[in-house]
Amino acid sequence: GFLSYGVNRCQFNSTELKDIEFIYSAYYNKLEIYRFSSSVGKFVGYTEYGVKQAKYFNDLPGEVGRWTAEKERYCQHNIGNHYSNI
């Protein structure tokens, strides 16, 4: 069978929202197909199929804004958990 999955992650070096980067990566059979990065502000494809998917998502009204908002919803919400465990 084939394995398809997505991964959300946050990269940060302080608790300030401006210092946080939210990244969503889509994988197919362990190969990263495309990625959304809040610091880039759009989807970027890494394969021929991924480039097409990135263009599709970037052209959808509100899709980039929805993923950009994940930085605050997903990362900032959980940053207290990360710092309290250190």
**3-class SS of residue 24:** strand
73, containing H or E segment:
none
Task: Report the chain's mean pLDDT, rounded to a whole number.
Answer: 89
pTM, two decimal places: 0.84
Q: How do residues 47-60 score in pLDDT, each as one tens digit?
A: 999 999 999 999 99
pLDDT at 77 over 90: no
Q: How do residues 55-74 score in pLDDT, each as one tens digit?
A: 999 999 899 999 999 988 88
What residue ranges define each of the domains in the chain, with the CATH number in brackets? 4-85 (3.10.320.10)
What's the pLDDT score for residue 26? 98
Region of 52 (left: φ > 0; alpha: ψ -120 to 50; beta: rest) is: alpha
For residue 53, count CB atoms less than 10 angstroms from its CB and return exposed for 0-12, middle for 13-18, buried for 19 or more. middle
